[in-house]
Structure 1
């Protein structure tokens, strides 16, 4: 019985080590020092330089996120947040008449970018990009299809309103 328990412990340790070593790595930085999406302090994205100080392991996630904002606050402001996607769901299950904590890593996202328009409120727009490879949330602004579309449409609208010289 003791040898069996020892083997199970070794297997459990190996499986735990493998799951943590294969966690996705993402860049983490925020628009401000305190951020709604982050529970730990992070560097500012305005200082983002692709260095190791912005790299984090994400053992409870399979996606990285990059949020780009354009806000209409005292003029036009742009900003970016980068972090691990929120996928951890904590629940309990009954095992042998006991409630046992259980952690589930959900897959609610797709690899893509979505532009969210706030319908005229404070923020001009927000783009959320989800990706599944190590350090994939590094792309500079306007690299995604959504941002490029907004840029092109804005240029067309501006150019239509400029009278051509005769």
Structure 2
């Protein structure tokens, strides 16, 4: 039983040591963008091509914007790492001002709907914690190992 607890502690440590993984995609590329360098949400399939490491974030986001043009509603999506840092953060370290990355916790988990009556748009902005949380449910290898370890611990 002690070995199982040790194994579980090691697994959880390594899981927390990795960067958060989020899905990343953008609305359809415009005429000036090269489609080879963008990941359009219109083709989003939860494959590894859309996974990014979020070194400077503790949350993922998904945004849905509905545009009402009067002839129908057009919907766009965007996914990625939540913006939680400022570019200009500095700290005096050893007498020198040094650029530092400080992560600010500015979002709450969940979704908020914003309606803009002037532009006839509705935006739904969702923020979540945990790997791959801004796509459909997906079990990763760490989750499986933790579940198996917990079952072994109980048995």
Q: Which TM-score bucket, shorter chain as reference?
A: 0.5 to 0.7
The answer for unaligned runs of 5 or more in structure 2 is 1-13, 31-36, 138-155
Structure 2: how far apart are the matches of 1:100 and 1:19?
A: 29
Structure 1: how far apart are the matches of 2:15 and 2:101?
A: 14
Q: Which structure's CA Rg is the greater one?
A: 1
- Whether contact under 8 Å (2:24, 2:51) holds in the other structure is yes
SS in 2 for 1:136: coil
The answer for unaligned runs of 5 or more in structure 1 is 1-17, 35-40, 141-166
1:19/1:103 Cα in 2 relative to 1: closer, same or farther (>3 Å)?
A: farther
Structure 2: how far apart are the matches of 1:25 and 1:64?
A: 8
Residue in structure 1 matched with residue 75 of structure 2 by the alignment: 78
Residue in structure 2 matched with residue 64 of structure 1 by the alignment: 60
Q: Which has the higher contact order (CA 8 A, sep 6+)?
A: 2
- Whether contact under 8 Å (1:20, 1:59) holds in the other structure is no
- Structure 1 length-normalised TM: 0.62
- Structure 2 length-normalised TM: 0.67
Residue in structure 2 matched with residue 135 of structure 1 by the alignment: 132
Alignment of 1:117-156 (within 5 A): 117-118=115-116, 120-139=117-136
Deviation at 1:84?
A: 0.6
1:123/1:20 Cα in 2 relative to 1: closer, same or farther (>3 Å)?
A: farther
Structure 1: how far apart are the matches of 2:128 and 2:47?
A: 19
Which structure dedicates a bigger proportion of its chain to strand?
A: 1
Structure 1: how far apart are the matches of 2:39 and 2:17?
A: 24
1:6-57, CA deviations, whole angstroms, 9 ceiling, x for partnerless residues? xxxxxxxxxxxx79951110111111226xxxxxx43111111111111111
Aligned length: 116
Residue in structure 2 matched with residue 105 of structure 1 by the alignment: 103
Q: RMSD of aligned C-alpha atoms?
A: 2.4
